[in-house]
């Protein structure tokens, strides 16, 4: 099985010792909601679009869609999970799904303990079913995870959508890290923190191999994709950084605010993340895929962050933003980019949503401009060649560039939505 490791630069990933751009799709509810034929159809589509990783919750996603096809890992007793009664058939089926994904070349990114299963977290406080995993049964569950999934060398995501409000919460996650470090030392481990969160306890930092942050789905905080990337890049020990949950395409704004994230929004979040320090990869999500919603499904839009109703998965699978994410991976490969250094300090004129990054050698600059404008950069790029990609028209153009007294003025006028400008040294 292929193995994911950390690059020497401590900012990016390798797969079988070759550069690996983590391009994940979010399919949290795969093991509970998807039958085998649907699974194969889904993977074929995502592989065609360039995705190489699938993010899955091993346990049932607490806010998933509930449809006619549903398999659970534990028996239910008095309305809640009986964690002492593991249904091995659930794990046998999930293992078979992983075999299919692995044979198609996908890396698996598997969440062990979503926050609603851990005492003290924000989600467990809201979970009316009170499905907190008993501490004395955790090792039994961890052994089950290793038995069925470790052969795939997954990235183990110890917690999902979590915070760290109590010492008991931290201890639960620490015990999981320690168990997996002892029994699966060859795999990478991380933790998927809740939206807009940027504080990870030192005890957890010591155990993780890469940072997963979540810019999330709240329309009131549009700066999260780049501000969180900057925070992890500048304030924590060097490790690969990934925005593992930017806004999902066609997801309703959280807290029942009216409106939905569109193709432009998810593309903007991706480029802002990558050019602000989170250059190890990016994760895409579609509202209807992560919860696996079909025509028979019910969906509780009052739980958690209270999102509006999803699309059916057959339609969500063809949302256009997914192809934009695949294009990002292809472009980084064509440009032979293996690390990007945030350079927004060079931006003298322009909104902070515009992002500037370069390669370490500064032989290539990438500038993302969400809306048509003119910017000034505090560097002389007169010996660089410029090309602009207009994302709305999917065409390349020559931007207007002038140089004066060590400064570069870049005019991107007439673009209907967003664009990137590439400046490569002659």
> What pLDDT digit, counting tens, does each position of 101-122 carry?
999 999 999 999 999 999 999 9
> What pLDDT digit, counting tens, does each position of 362-401 carry?
999 999 999 999 999 999 999 999 999 999 998 999 999 9
> What pLDDT digit, counting tens, does each position of 189-243 carry?
999 999 999 999 999 999 999 999 999 999 999 999 999 999 999 999 999 999 9
State the pLDDT at residue 70: 80
- Shared-domain flag, residues 316 and 351: no
Of 120, 277, 307, 305, nearest to 211 by C-alpha is 277
Q: Look at residues 334, 358, 384 and tell me which one is the last residue of a structural domain.
A: 334
- Shared-domain flag, residues 310 and 374: no
DSSP 290-322: TTT--TT-B--TTSTT-PPPPPPHHHHTT-THH
- Shared-domain flag, residues 44 and 135: yes
| Secondary-structure percent of the chain, ordered helix, strand, coil, rounded to 5 | 30, 25, 45
Query: Is 129 a residue whose pLDDT tops 80?
Result: no
8 Å CB contact between 392 and 415:
yes
State the pLDDT at residue 67: 87
> What pLDDT digit, counting tens, does each position of 405-426 carry?
999 999 999 899 999 999 999 9
CATH number of the domain that residue 234 is part of: 3.20.20.80
Return the percentage of the chain with pLDDT > 90, whole number.
Answer: 94
Q: Look at residues 312, 334, 356 and tell me which one is the last residue of a structural domain.
A: 334
8 Å CB contact between 307 and 284:
no
- Shared-domain flag, residues 318 and 398: no
Q: Collect contacts of 94-101 with beta carbons under 8 A, ≥24 apart.
A: 94/30, 94/31, 94/58, 94/148, 94/149, 95/148, 95/149, 96/36, 97/30, 97/31, 97/34, 97/36, 97/39, 98/148, 98/149, 98/152, 100/36, 100/39, 100/40, 100/43, 101/43, 101/54
- Shared-domain flag, residues 294 and 392: no
Q: Burial letters for 38-50: b for 16+ Cβ neighbours within 10 Å, e otherwise?
A: bbeebbeebeebb
Q: Burial letters for 360-387: b for 16+ Cβ neighbours within 10 Å, e otherwise?
A: eeeebbbbbbbeeeebebebebeebebe
Token pair listed for 168 = 């008991």
The whole-model pTM stands at: 0.97
- Shared-domain flag, residues 288 and 386: no
Number of domains in the chain: 2
- Shared-domain flag, residues 205 and 59: yes
* Distance between CA atoms of residues 256 and 158, nearest Å: 29
- Shared-domain flag, residues 82 and 145: yes
State the pLDDT at residue 1: 66
- Shared-domain flag, residues 319 and 365: no
Strands (DSSP E) contained in 239-349 are 241-243, 281-284, 341-342, 347-349
The residue assigned the tokens 């930017």 is: 246
Rounded alpha-carbon distances, angstroms, from residue 102 to 5, 37, 125, 281, 317: 17, 16, 36, 19, 20
* Distance between CA atoms of residues 6 and 78, nearest Å: 45
- Shared-domain flag, residues 162 and 195: yes
* Distance between CA atoms of residues 134 and 117, nearest Å: 9
The residue assigned the tokens 């926050």 is: 115
In what helix (H) or strand (E) does residue 107 lie, and over which residues does it extend?
strand 107-114
Q: Domain range holding 404?
A: 343-425
State the pLDDT at residue 18: 95
- Shared-domain flag, residues 22 and 112: yes
CATH number of the domain that residue 412 is part of: 2.60.40.1180
* Mean local confidence (pLDDT), 35-53: 97
Q: How confident is the model at residue 130 (pLDDT cuts 50, 70, 90)?
A: confident
Token pair listed for 269 = 């979040």
* Distance between CA atoms of residues 127 and 308, nearest Å: 19
- Shared-domain flag, residues 280 and 362: no
State the pLDDT at residue 294: 95
């Amino acid at each position: 099985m292929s193995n994911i490791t950390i690059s020497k630069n401590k900012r990016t990933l390798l797969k079988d010792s070759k550069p690996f751009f983590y391009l994940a799709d979010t399919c949290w509810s795969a093991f509970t909601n998807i039958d085998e034929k649907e699974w194969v159809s889904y993977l074929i589509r995502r592989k065609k679009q360039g995705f190489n990783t699938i993010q899955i919750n091993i346990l049932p996603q607490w806010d998933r869609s509930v449809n006619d096809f549903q398999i659970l890992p534990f028996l239910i007793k008095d309305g809640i999970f009986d964690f002492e009664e593991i249904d091995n058939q659930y794990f046998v089926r999930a293992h078979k799904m992983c075999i299919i994904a692995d044979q198609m070349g996908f890396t698996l990114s598997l969440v062990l303990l979503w926050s609603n299963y851990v005492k003290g977290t924000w989600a467990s406080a809201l979970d009316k079913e009170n499905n907190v995993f008993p501490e004395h049964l955790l090792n039994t569950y961890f052994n089950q995870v290793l038995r069925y999934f470790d052969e795939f060398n997954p990235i183990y995501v110890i917690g999902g959508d979590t915070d760290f409000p109590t010492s008991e919460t931290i201890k639960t996650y620490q015990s999981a890290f320690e168990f997996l470090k002892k029994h699966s030392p060859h795999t990478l481990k991380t933790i998927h923190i809740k939206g807009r969160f940027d504080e990870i306890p030192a005890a957890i930092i010591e155990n993780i191999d890469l940072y997963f942050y979540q810019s999330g789905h709240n329309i009131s905080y549009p700066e999260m994709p780049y501000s969180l990337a900057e925070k992890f890049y500048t304030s924590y020990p060097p490790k690969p950084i990934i925005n593992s949950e930017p806004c999902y395409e066609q997801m309703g704004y959280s807290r029942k605010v009216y409106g939905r994230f569109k193709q432009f929004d998810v593309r903007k979040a991706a480029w802002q993340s990558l050019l602000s320090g989170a250059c190890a990869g990016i994760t895409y999500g579609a509202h209807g895929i992560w919860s696996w919603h079909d025509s028979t499904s019910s969906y509780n839009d009052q739980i958690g962050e209270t999102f509006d109703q999803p699309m059916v998965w057959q339609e969500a699978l063809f949302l256009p933003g997914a192809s934009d994410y695949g294009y990002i991976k292809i472009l980084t490969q064509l440009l032979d980019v293996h690390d990007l250094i945030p350079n927004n300090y060079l931006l003298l004129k322009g909104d902070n949503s515009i992002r500037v990054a370069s390669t370490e050698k500064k032989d290539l600059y990438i500038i993302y401009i969400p809306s048509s404008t003119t910017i000034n950069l505090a560097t002389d790029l007169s010996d660089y060649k410029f090309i602009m990609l207009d994302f709305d028209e999917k065409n390349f153009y020559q931007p207007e560039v002038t140089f004066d007294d060590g400064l570069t003025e870049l005019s991107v006028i007439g673009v209907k939505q967003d664009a990137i400008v590439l400046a490569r040294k002659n």
